[in-house]
Every structure is written in C-alpha cells, then in structure tokens.
A = this chain, B = another copy of it.
Amino acid sequence: RGEGQHDLLWSLMADYRPEDKETIQKDIVRHVEYTLARTRLNFSNMHAFQATAHSLRDRLVERFNDTHTLFADLDVRRVYYVSLEFLVGRSLRNAISNMGLSRPYSQALAELGYQLEALYDEEKDAALGNGGLGRLAACFMDSLATLNLPAWGYGLRYTYGMFEQVIHKGEQVEVPDNWLVQGNPWEIERLDVQFSVSFYGHVETTSGSDGRIKSEWIPGDRVLAVAYDTPIPGHNTRNTLNIRLWESRTDKEFDMESFNRGDYMGAVRARQASENLTNVLYPNDNTYSGKELRLKQEYFLVAATLADIIRRFKRSQLELSKLHTKVTIQLNDTHPALGIVELMRILVDEEDMEWDEAWGVVRQVYNYTNHTVLPEALEKWPVTLLEVLLPRHMQIIYQINLLFLREVETKWPGNLSTLSEMSIIEEGYDKRVRMAHLAIVGSKYVNGVAALHTEILKSKVFRQFHELWPEKIQNKTNGVTPRRWVDQANPGLSALLTQLVGSDAWVDDFSLVAKIKAHADNPETQVAWNEVKMQNKMRLAAFVEKEMGITIDPTMLFDVQVKRIHEYKRQLLNILGCIHRFHRLSEMDDDELAACIPRCVFMSGKAAPGYFLAKRIIKLIHEVAHVINNDPRISKYLKVIFLPNYNVRLAELIIPASDISQHISTAGTEASGTSNMKFVMNGGLIVGTLDGANVEIVEEAGEDMMFIFGLKADEVDAARHVSFGPTRQHSGDFRFQSVLASIEQGCFGPAQEYQAILNSLRGHNDRYCLAHDFPDFLSAIRKAEKLFTNKSEWARRSILATGSMGKFSSDNTISQYAKEIWHVEPVALDNAEEE
C-alpha cells in the first residue's frame, strides 16, 4: 500500500491501538497530560471523563475510517438519513458498551482511582432535538450501525441545542443550552469538507444554442457549511457510522464582494450575528414556526448534504442518471423536503439533465417519513418567502406542481376540488407551499410511524394520494434501540434478561426476549423482577431527594408521564385526575386512607417557549403538586413530582423506574409515541388510549396486560360534535366539573392564572375530549392501583409485557426499511481486523 515518499507514514498508520487495560490506562493518562494539559494539581472527575472520552474517540476513529474506506472500496449503495434533529444524549456509556470495552475501561479507571459510573454523569447531553422525532433518528443510527448497513446521518450542529428548562416559581424559564461549552470529544471537525450555500438573488434565463432554455440562479448571499463528523459505533461489530452535522460559517469570498467600507466593526458584528444559521435549534415540537431563519436552516441542511452526496457519488464514475442506484435518501419529516427541489436544480441547471430524466431520478432517490397528522404541525411555507429566499426553487416547485396536476387531471378528469386539494400550492390570498404534498409527489415511498397512524394517512390525511399511488404509502412502526434503553439504562434488568434468555444475544436480537414469558409464573423470577424494579425506583427516589429535596417512599406506585407538554398529549387529563384523587382522599377518614394505594405521579416535559397554554399547564401542575405534597395527611398517599428539564439523561433514569406510565393522547392525534415502547421494555405497564403505537403494543402483549381507556380514533370526531354545555349532559358524571370548579375557586392559586386552561376545556373548545375520557381515565388508574397490591400478578404481567416487545426494537424497524424502502444490504468490517 505504499506511495513512495509517504511509505513510512502509511506504515506507521497501519497499527491499531491495543484495547487491553494497560494501553487504555496509558492512553487516558496521555490525554490528561497532553490533550487536556492538566497537572495532578488541577484535575477533576470532569477531566477524567474528557480524557476517557478522548481515548475512546481514538479507537472510534480507527473503526470509523475503516468503515468508510470499506464502503468506498466496495462502492456500496448507501442510505442517507436526513434530519433536522438528532437527539443523541450522552455518548460515553453507549460507546464503551457498543464497542465491548466496558470491562477493560472500568478496570483501567478503577486502578487510576476513578469510577467509570461516576464519569458518565460528567457528560453533557447532545440535545440536538425536541423530542420523539430527534430521538428516533438517534435510535435508527444505532440500529443502522449495529446491522452493518451502509448509512449516513445528516443534520445540523446547533451551537445551542434544546433549551434547558428551569422552573422558577412554578413557571418554565428557558435557558440557552450551550452544550459545547465543555468541548465535544465525540466530534471530528472536517475543515476540508466545506460547501457554499446560496440564498436570495435572482434567476437568469438564457436560450442555449440547442434552443433549450437554461436557468441560472445568481445568489444574493452565501454562507459556508463546514462538516462535523460524529462516529456512531454499532454493537458487536466494528462498523462505525457517521452523523455528519453542518455548521454555518461566513463565506470569506462573499464577504470580499459585499463588505461595506466604513463601519467595519459594526459590519463584522452584524454579519456574524445574522449569518449564524446553525446557532440555535427551533424549540417547537409538532408546531410549525413559519420563520425565515427556520426555512434557511432547512435549505442549508439539504444544500450542503446534497453537495456532499453528489461529490461522493461522482467518485463512482457513474452517470448522474444512475444516482438512484447508489443513493437513497430518507426525509425525516418534511423539514428536508426542499432537497427534492434542490436535487432537481442541480440535475437540470448545473448538470444539464433533461427535466423528465431528472425527475425520474429524483423520485427514485427520495423517501419521506410523516410524523404527524396535526394540522398545525404541517409545514406550509409562504410562496412570497420562498420567492425571495430561493427564487429558482420556487420556479421548480411550480413546474413540479404543473406536471403533477396533469397526472391528477388524467386520473380524475375535471375534478377541480381534487386538483385544489392535492396541489402542492395551497391557493388563497396568502399562497403557500404544502411541504407534505411536495414530499409525497417527489418520493418513491411515504411511510407513517405506526399502524394506526399509517391507516389515518391512507384513509384521511393523504387519502387522494393513496388512491392515485396505492403502492406509495407504507407503514414502518417506530422502534427503539434495546442497547441504550434496556442494556445501558437498566443494568439490573439487563443482567436478569441475560439470565432468563440464557445469553446476552437479546441485545442484538430483541425478539429473543419472548423467551422470558416462560418464566412469568415462576415466583423466584417474579421476586427477582420486582427487586430490579425496586432498585431502579430507589435510584430515582434518591435523585429526587438530592435534586429537589423531596423524600419519596419507593414502595409507592410510580406513575410516570414524561413527554413534551402539549394539549393533545393531555398532561391536563393527568393533573385533573390528580386533583380529583386529592379531593377524594381528602374526604376519607384515616381507616379509608390506610386502605389506599400510595401513588407517586411523576411528570416531566418541556413546553415550546411560545406555546402559552402549555406553559400554563406547567404552572398548574406545580401549584397542584405544591398543595398535595404539603398536605401532611394526603401526601403519604399521593404525590406529584415535576422533574425539570426532561432530556435523554432523565429519561434513562425515569423509564426503568416506572410501574405504570401514561400515554393518553386523544386517539388519532399521536403518530407513534415511541417512549411507550421504552417503558414496557423496562417492565412498566401502560395506562393509555388506543392511539399511536399503543395499539400495536396492546396487540403484542394482549389487552389485559395494559390499562386502556377512552375514545377510539374513529369515535373522536363524533364525540367532538356532541355538544357539552356547562351543565355536562353526558353520562351523568360531574367529577370533571367539580375538578374544574376547584381550580376556579382558587384552590391552586388565583383562578385568572388558569382562565385559558379552563376555557380550553369548556364545551366545543374541548377539542381533545378530556371531559369525555375523564371518567374512564379515573377507572383505568383505579384498576392499576388495585392490581399493584398483588405483587406476584403484577410481576407476571410485567414480565409478559416485556417479553412481548420483540417487535419494537429499532433493529426490526430498520430491517424493514432496508428491505422494503431502501434496498440496501449489510456490509460488515471483518472482525479479524481487531487482531
């Protein structure tokens, strides 16, 4: 492999770092001394974490480079997962565990005087996502690596990730999440991978000598995209994938042309401020912001990503008309849907491909995952904004739409309302581009993220598209990675599963957990199972004691609802239920109280900063918690704990400790949920509606394993149309009204604080049908409490539930994507290279 003058260099690079304890120790110490430049006099656990991470990074880099060299050598077909969000969380434990280095690392550190477990807590979360959509992308990358699939992730490197939620007097305060402040040992800055991304300007049209009309975009502004690579190690393989995150920088070349003379200081500061496109993640979940900066972020991501993909493809020496044979791109929601248009622009304007041929390629390249059916979450960008920001793209969208509508016209001749409903352009005073329609038209496959969700897409939201192209819409039920969410987050359960399954093979083949069902009736297993849960509950209780100063009895029923605060997710239903329970307990005498099942309700989640009502709900939760927790009599039987700043780290602590968890969205509103899978994998039972992935969990585990209540998806519309006056006609249940009345009477602080909440629940305003589902919800909780007294039966159901979760490993989901959508094959590094 020599190249003459650099022979020695290559030969010195040929070795791998040994992975024995002694070498690891030396490497850690070298990083302490040189990379961190510490002396023994100024050296903390934080530095030990950083040095450990750097020593691991060295080994990641070897596998990462080998993997990409292998993909390049074999010129494999690759899948590109493009997502505005990757909610990775912390990486040290995951990397050590996936790379199989837990034992040498924990020994190496112990001898140096450090506990590996303690170092995990020094790491800051990489919180480059809002919630489910971003966390799914992270789980998928873990599965892609573990399954040896040739894949890349593409996203943005936000300087400020998801804001930190601080609770001040019961209200959410958003604090910027400066997550890079301690440095990020996991990323590799790729200064040689830079692309210029254009904005604004105008389009010039010329006729070529062949009579063909050629369009050229003359941009008005440019910024640079610089790549940061994040190695993603697979489990039980040397394959290590890449999430390539783009950071925006000022484009010096462009500065030279446009820089104002005179006020240099002002100009340089203004420029830096305005151009920092990747400064901050938009903290909106299931809402569409409509802000120009957001649109710039979206285009910035796809423009840099496509430039990179095409550069890589061109190394294949194939014609661009063969692009779809080597490249398949998955759009995670419509955020990167402009990529469809950008690829058309590149092929037609830059590569001189004929429109029809280009369009044929594009529609083979893209696939689109829909994540929501909520109207307020569907992106619709104003045409006027696109015309200014991306003038050429707007032209291309019009052209795509024209040709598409001809297809519709052919299928349904003369049907103007169908044309108007399906059009990519929403007509009206303020014309908008329906990004979901663009994504469907420009993609080969479209998928929903749970069976029910996909059915709703086919039958309601995208009904006409489904009729036009019956093969296009597929279902791919979400999954989660059992590495992070069971093996790493719940070591006690992991050990027990390994014992019950007979090996740790379940970590990579989660269908094997079905084997534990055979032990569900075994009393010894039940005791061991309950003991694992108790340890996790004690761990959570200790955390709450330390962070919040509240003592919790771990024998209470731990009832958890953790997710973004949103009306449709109905945290309100939960807290109203708590108020009702509090009233009921307050009426009891001591004997009655003593017969009650003590329950501790944990809630956690962030509200979008501009979502007024969600922030009011947080306030109400805190005031209710304050009243209940400070009632000396009641608080032994009911507690409400709001854990601030929900993130991946907290999830890893909370989920293994839940007895029951609530997934109680109004049926038909939650696409998947996905965290429901994590809870059940960890032995928790679900209190939930038949919504999102709950439906399939119930299918797998059996309905009597769960506490299901409420309207079904096909009943909601009808229920919404039933008029509920303030006197509550339905089912004669006045409990809901009395709870609202207690809020209105000021039991939880001045009533005007909650006026918006109360209004949202009255009559027709009650869009999410809380009034209807309330009695049924109370019964479901009551059932769970009752069952909880029977420890043996509880353990039995919990074991059976966990044992039914094989389907929900993201490995399973990804295998389906790979077979049915992407058509990519595994390519594994030889494990022998380790020698």
Which residue numbers of A lie inside 8 Å of B, CB to CB? 1, 3-10, 12-13, 25-26, 29, 32-37, 39-42, 44, 46, 57-58, 61-62, 64-65, 68-69, 72, 111-113, 159-160, 163, 166, 168, 171-176, 178, 181-183, 188-189, 191-192, 229, 249-250, 252, 255-256, 259, 261-265, 268-269, 271-273, 276, 279-280, 282-283, 291, 293, 609-610, 615
CA of A272 to CA of B542 in the docked complex: distance in angstroms?
36
Say which residue of B178, B183, B282, B291 sits within 8 Å of A252 (CB atoms). B178
Indicate how many identical chains form the complex.
2
Q: A12 near B25 (CB under 8 angstroms)?
A: yes
Minimum CB–CB distance for A1 against chain B, Å: 8
Q: Are B271 and A176 in contact (CB under 8 A)?
A: yes
Partner of A192, one of B44, B65, B183, B272: B44
Determine the chain B residues whose CB is within 8 A of the CB of A36 once the complex forms: 188
User: Do the beta carbons of A9 and B42 come within 8 Å of each other?
Assistant: no
Q: Is the CB of B9 within 8 A of A40?
A: yes
**A295 → chain B closest CB, angstroms:** 13
Q: In the complex, A346→B341 CA distance in Å?
A: 61
A181 touching B12 in the complex, CB below 8 Å, given contacts A42-B192, A262-B610, A264-B609: no
CB atoms of B64 and A37 under 8 A apart? yes
A259 to B173, CA, bound (A): 8
Q: Tell me, in angstroms, the Cα distance from A101 to B635 when the chains sit together.
A: 71
Q: Is the CB of A32 within 8 A of B9?
A: yes
- Are the C-beta atoms of A282 and B265 separated by less than 8 Å? yes
Q: Are A268 and B160 in contact (CB under 8 A)?
A: yes
Shortest A148–chain B CB gap in Å is: 20
A30 → chain B closest CB, angstroms: 8
A-B contact pairs, 15 of them (CB 8 A): A6-B40, A8-B25, A9-B40, A9-B113, A34-B58, A39-B65, A175-B256, A176-B268, A181-B249, A183-B191, A261-B609, A263-B610, A269-B276, A269-B279, A273-B273
Chain B, Cβ-Cβ closest to A5: B113
Contact assessment for B255 and A175 in the assembled complex, using a CB-CB cutoff below 8 Å: yes
A256 to chain B: which residues have CB within 8 Å? Answer: 166, 168, 173, 175
Please give me the residue from chain B that is nearest to A291 by CB atom: B265
Residues of chain B within 8 A (CB-CB) of A255 are 175-176
**Residue with the highest number of chain B CB atoms closer than 10 Å, among A62, A175, A250, A291:** A175
Nearest B residue (CB) for A9: B112
Known: A272-B273, A273-B269. A8 touches B609 (CB 8 A): no
CA gap between A39 and B35 in the complex, in Å: 21
Contact indicator B269/A283 (Cβ below 8 Å): no
| B173 near A181: Cβ-Cβ < 8 Å | no
A182's nearest neighbour on chain B, judged by CB, is B191
CB distance from A266 to the nearest CB of B (A): 10
